[in-house]
Chain A
Amino acid sequence: MKFFEKLMKIDRRIIYLILALVVIVPFLRPFMIHPKAMPPVENLYNYIDSIPPDKALVISVDYTPDTEPELQPMTIALLRHAFARRIKVGVLTLGVLGLGLAENALTQVANEFNQRATTREDSIIYGRDYVFWGWQTPALTVILGMGERISRVFSVDYYGNKTETLPMMQKIKNYNNVGIVVSVSASATPLWYITYGQTSFGIKVGIASTAVQAADMYPYLNSGQATGLLSGMKGGAEYEELVQTRLGITGRRRATEAMAAQTSAHFTIIAFIIIGNIGFFALRRRKK
Chain B
Amino acid sequence: MAISPPTYVRAWDNPNDAGGAIRISWHLSADDSIIDGYEILRLAEGEKEYQPIGFIGKGRNCYTDDETKDGLRYQYRVSAVKDTIRSYSEPSNFAQSSAQWFNTDRINVLIFTAIFIFLILWFITQAKRGTRLFVRRIAGLAAVEEAVGRATEMGKPILYVPGLSTVDDVATIAGLNILGEVAKKTAQYDTKLIVPNRDPIVYTVAREVVKEAYTQVGRPDAFNPDSVYFVTDSQFAFAAAVDGIMTRENPATNFFMGYFWAESLIMAETGASTGAIQIAGTDAVMQLPFFITACDYTLIGEELYAASAYLSREPLLLGALKGQDFGKAIIIGVLLLTTLLALLLNLPVLNLF
Interface string of B46-59 (1 = CB under 8 A from A): 00000000011111
- Residues in chain A near residue B273, CB distance under 8 A: 12
A200 pairs with B36, CB closer than 8 A: no
Which single residue of chain B is at the shortest CB-CB distance from A176? Answer: B36
- Residues in chain B near residue A201, CB distance under 8 A: 37, 56-57, 60
A147 pairs with B55, CB closer than 8 A: yes
Chain B residue total in the interface (Cβ 8 A): 9
Contact of A148 among B37, B58, B59, B60 (CB under 8 A): B37
Measured CA separation A174–B36 after assembly (Å): 8
Distance (whole angstroms) from the CB of A175 to the closest CB of chain B: 6
B60 pairs with A202, CB closer than 8 A: yes
Interface residues on A, range: 10 to 19
Measured CA separation A63–B186 after assembly (Å): 48
Most chain A CB neighbours (cut-off 10 Å) among B55, B60, B273: B55
- Residues in chain B near residue A148, CB distance under 8 A: 37, 55
Measured CA separation A200–B37 after assembly (Å): 10
A147 pairs with B58, CB closer than 8 A: no
The secondary structure that dominates the B interface is mixed
Most chain A CB neighbours (cut-off 10 Å) among B36, B57, B60: B57
- Residues in chain A near residue B56, CB distance under 8 A: 147, 200-201
Identify 27 residue pairs between A and B in the complex whose beta-carbon atoms are under 8 Å apart, listed by A's number: A12-B273, A147-B37, A147-B55, A147-B56, A147-B57, A148-B37, A148-B55, A173-B36, A174-B36, A174-B37, A175-B57, A176-B36, A176-B37, A176-B57, A176-B58, A200-B56, A200-B57, A200-B60, A201-B37, A201-B56, A201-B57, A201-B60, A202-B57, A202-B58, A202-B59, A202-B60, A203-B57
- Residues in chain A near residue B58, CB distance under 8 A: 176, 202
Measured CA separation A201–B37 after assembly (Å): 8
Interface string of A195-227 (1 = CB under 8 A from B): 000001111000000000000000000000000
Measured CA separation A173–B81 after assembly (Å): 13
Which single residue of chain B is at the shortest CB-CB distance from A198? Answer: B57
Interface string of A162-176 (1 = CB under 8 A from B): 000000000001111
Distance (whole angstroms) from the CB of A176 to the closest CB of chain B: 5
Interface residues of B (CB under 8 A from A): 36-37, 55-60, 273
Measured CA separation A28–B96 after assembly (Å): 69
Measured CA separation A8–B293 after assembly (Å): 16
Distance (whole angstroms) from the CB of B266 to the closest CB of chain A: 14
Distance (whole angstroms) from the CB of B154 to the closest CB of chain A: 22
- Residues in chain A near residue B36, CB distance under 8 A: 173-174, 176
Which single residue of chain B is at the shortest CB-CB distance from A173? Answer: B36
Measured CA separation A201–B58 after assembly (Å): 7
Measured CA separation A148–B81 after assembly (Å): 10
Distance (whole angstroms) from the CB of B146 to the closest CB of chain A: 24
Distance (whole angstroms) from the CB of A103 to the closest CB of chain B: 30
The 4 A-B pairs at the shortest CB distance, nearest first, are namely: A201-B57, A148-B55, A200-B56, A202-B57
Which single residue of chain B is at the shortest CB-CB distance from A201? Answer: B57
Measured CA separation A12–B272 after assembly (Å): 11
- Residues in chain A near residue B59, CB distance under 8 A: 202
- Residues in chain B near residue A173, CB distance under 8 A: 36
Measured CA separation A175–B35 after assembly (Å): 12
Interface string of A115-149 (1 = CB under 8 A from B): 00000000000000000000000000000000110
Which single residue of chain B is at the shortest CB-CB distance from A12? Answer: B273
Measured CA separation A203–B56 after assembly (Å): 11
Distance (whole angstroms) from the CB of A148 to the closest CB of chain B: 4
Measured CA separation A174–B39 after assembly (Å): 14
Distance (whole angstroms) from the CB of A137 to the closest CB of chain B: 19
Measured CA separation A45–B301 after assembly (Å): 41
Which single residue of chain A is at the shortest CB-CB distance from B63? Answer: A200
- Residues in chain A near residue B37, CB distance under 8 A: 147-148, 174, 176, 201
